Structure 1
Amino acid sequence: MRDHARAADGASDGAGLPTGAVARRLGVSPTTIRSWERRYGIGPAGRRPGHHRRWSPADIAVLEAMCRLTARGVPPAEAARAVLAAGPPARPPAPAAGGPGGSRALHVGSVRPECRGLARAAVRLDSPEVARILQDAVAALGTVEAWTEVMLPALRAVGRKWASDGEQYVEVEHLLSWHVSTALRTAAVRPTALRAVPPVLLAAMPAEQHTLPLDAVAAGLTERTLPFRMLGAAVPPRALLDAVRRTGPGAVMLWSQSPQTSEPELVRQVVRTAWGARGSRSHAIVLATGPGWHRFDPPEGAAGPRTLLGALDLLERTVTA
């Protein structure tokens, strides 16, 4: 009889997901979910006394709505009233066997609410919510601040989790990176009346594959109505020097993510590169930007801004002088 009762209880408890699995799926801690249940009544609709919590698809959909609202800065109590008043969504998601990326949510530290919401949405592979958060952040903060305060901390958290958990978090990193790149490039190429000034040339060093910061600067230049030419990742020296001569830029920004990809001699070559008719030759202001340069003094003749916002301000002053 006892075995039969335990089997019956197990069958009853098997409908839905336990709190830990739901927390992994949503990218929040189990403590947060239990707090929402205790304080605001956001709990499993079919829970019976003496049994473990099991969250149905409809219950999980309510929690997802709660996560979205709190990520947008809505106070938890107000968010709870809103989701309880609305009732469960008409098409709740099907529960998954477990969440991506292991047993813990992303640790993003002390960041803006938008960043926490972005990390949670990325963990649960919620593409529409990731896109919405990024779009709203760019509109509210501008691309460079959105990159620095919302996108970059979330990407770093994914990278740390990937490094510690192996391949389990690759899908989260890929999804988030794609959406970040899409948001930045969409902002960079939107139709804008640009000022009639020399363009800024943006390029990564020959061995550098990381270009999302360059995308953020390109979008920032568009916001300031400044023209640019994007060469992207791993630009060979000859191609870079040829592009400088062909475009006659007002400034050149060279990105290096790590000391291994910084090449001071190439920067000096860009500084010396000139164009135009003899007697009226021109040179570009060169910015050596990115963490790869932080261990060194800027190469002779180049500027070394420490932040993307500082680089953007210097680029604007340079090309509009």
Structure 2
Amino acid sequence: MTYTPRAVAAMLGIAPTTLRTWDQRYGVGPSQRSEGGHRRYEDSDVELIRRMMALTARGVTPAAAAELARRQRDRGPFRARSPLDDDIARAARLAFVTSANGLDESSMLDVAGKLIADHGVVAAWDSVFVPCLTDIGDMIAARGSGVEIEHLASASVLQAMRGVPRSTAPGPPAALLSTAPEEQHVLALEALGAALSEQDCQWRSLGARVPPRALCDAVAALRPGVTLIWAHRADLTAAVPLDELHARSDSLLAVAGPGWSGVALPSFVQRPESLTEAVELVLARTSD
């Protein structure tokens, strides 16, 4: 089905002159022409304009909104890269833990970097990094020593993930990532950021121990599509200003990490259960 400019304008509540301007200046226009040469919009054209309208409503300039809307359309739905089969994952975990025990940073970086390059951040995180760091933590607890092993292993994973090129997409960030006010663990947020970079999504991270006021001010200033707050213990979640964040911004609020398990959440807060779900949440929001 195709639509006339007048029909599209009525459908979206936008002036026909705006449609014409966006077509002429930014290339956001109809894909089809009738036999008489009249402009005709397809469903995909209407969706592209809808995305551009949502972006301009968030303060993005029309030129940047047009580029970003096209990137969102061309990116398509999230698909995790090739998963690791059991043998490859098992070998990678053995190599990483062996290197960690030897404090061999170079080898850990090599393993982590190849996993990300070949299989993507999500598969590497789920199948190798999380199991390895969990095993290392359990080993340290049993020994009563070896914290340096865990620190160097975490640093190696962090460095490998930061090797994923950051997006240069225009406009507000698709996601703002933050910890709870007294939370010090940031590795899971870095994994989400790296996975979003693979999807050409712009993101910002406030890092560890973010004061409530600083988080609220950053959300108000940056106007991200999604604000996600991570916590690994339930007692750390109490100081997160969810109500104030909701009142000050139209950013979609989400929480993640084991600390939120069992915590009663307001209806306006979402809780992705995995890295894949968190990426999908951000991508869905950028397509609204």
The equivalent of 1:288 in structure 2 is: 255
- Matched letter for residue 309 of structure 1: T
Unaligned runs of 5+ in 2: 1-85
1:184 matched to 2:151? The reply is no
Q: Supply the distance in 1 between the matched residues of 2:261 and 2:166 (Cα, whole angstroms).
A: 35
Matches within 5 A, 1:101-180: 112-167=90-145, 169-180=146-157
Deviation at 1:303, TM superposition (A): 0.4
Deviation at 1:207, TM superposition (A): 1.1
Deviation at 1:201, TM superposition (A): 0.6
What SS does the corresponding residue of 1:207 show, helix, strand or coil?
A: coil
Deviation at 1:265, TM superposition (A): 5.7
- Matched letter for residue 232 of structure 2: Q
How many residue pairs get matched?
A: 203
Q: CA separation of 1:265/1:258 partners in 2, compared to 1, >3 Å: closer, same or farther?
A: closer
Name which structure has the greater RCO, CA cutoff 8 Å, separation 6+. Answer: 2
Matches within 5 A, 1:1-321: 112-167=90-145, 169-187=146-164, 190-194=165-169, 196=171, 198-263=173-238, 266-274=241-249, 283-321=250-288
What SS does the corresponding residue of 2:183 show, helix, strand or coil?
A: coil
Instruction: Report if aligned partners of 1:264, 1:299 keep a CA contact under 8 Å in 2.
Output: no
Look at both structures and tell me which one has the larger radius of gyration over its CA atoms. 1
140-149 or 155-164: bigger deviation: 140-149
Unaligned runs of 5+ in 1: 1-71, 75-110, 275-282
Q: Supply the distance in 1 between the matched residues of 2:252 and 2:134 (Cα, whole angstroms).
A: 31
Q: Supply the distance in 2 between the matched residues of 1:125 and 1:264 (Cα, whole angstroms).
A: 37
206-215 or 146-155: bigger deviation: 146-155
Q: Percent identity?
A: 31
Deviation at 1:175, TM superposition (A): 1.5
Deviation at 1:264, TM superposition (A): 7.1
Q: Supply the distance in 1 between the matched residues of 2:247 and 2:184 (Cα, whole angstroms).
A: 25
Residue deviations 1:18-44 (CA, integer Å, cap 9, x gap) = xxxxxxxxxxxxxxxxxxxxxxxxxxx
What SS does the corresponding residue of 2:201 show, helix, strand or coil?
A: coil
What SS does the corresponding residue of 2:232 show, helix, strand or coil?
A: coil
Deviation at 1:73, TM superposition (A): 6.0
Instruction: Report if aligned partners of 1:198, 1:319 keep a CA contact under 8 Å in 2.
Output: no
Q: Supply the distance in 2 between the matched residues of 1:311 and 1:210 (Cα, whole angstroms).
A: 17
Deviation at 1:140, TM superposition (A): 1.8
Q: CA separation of 1:231/1:265 partners in 2, compared to 1, >3 Å: closer, same or farther?
A: closer
Instruction: Report if aligned partners of 1:268, 1:301 keep a CA contact under 8 Å in 2.
Output: no
What SS does the corresponding residue of 1:112 show, helix, strand or coil?
A: helix
- Matched letter for residue 286 of structure 2: V
Deviation at 1:296, TM superposition (A): 2.4
Instruction: Report if aligned partners of 2:226, 2:254 keep a CA contact under 8 Å in 1.
Output: yes
Deviation at 1:162, TM superposition (A): 1.1
Q: Supply the distance in 2 between the matched residues of 1:304 and 1:191 (Cα, whole angstroms).
A: 25
What SS does the corresponding residue of 2:241 show, helix, strand or coil?
A: helix
Instruction: Report if aligned partners of 2:181, 2:211 keep a CA contact under 8 Å in 1.
Output: yes
Instruction: Report if aligned partners of 1:287, 1:305 keep a CA contact under 8 Å in 2.
Output: yes
What SS does the corresponding residue of 1:296 show, helix, strand or coil?
A: coil
Q: Supply the distance in 2 between the matched residues of 1:194 and 1:139 (Cα, whole angstroms).
A: 21
What TM-score do the two structures reach when normalised by structure 2? 0.66
Instruction: Report if aligned partners of 1:267, 1:288 keep a CA contact under 8 Å in 2.
Output: no
What TM-score do the two structures reach when normalised by structure 1? 0.59
Instruction: Report if aligned partners of 2:174, 2:286 keep a CA contact under 8 Å in 1.
Output: yes
- Matched letter for residue 138 of structure 2: R
Instruction: Report if aligned partners of 2:168, 2:202 keep a CA contact under 8 Å in 1.
Output: no
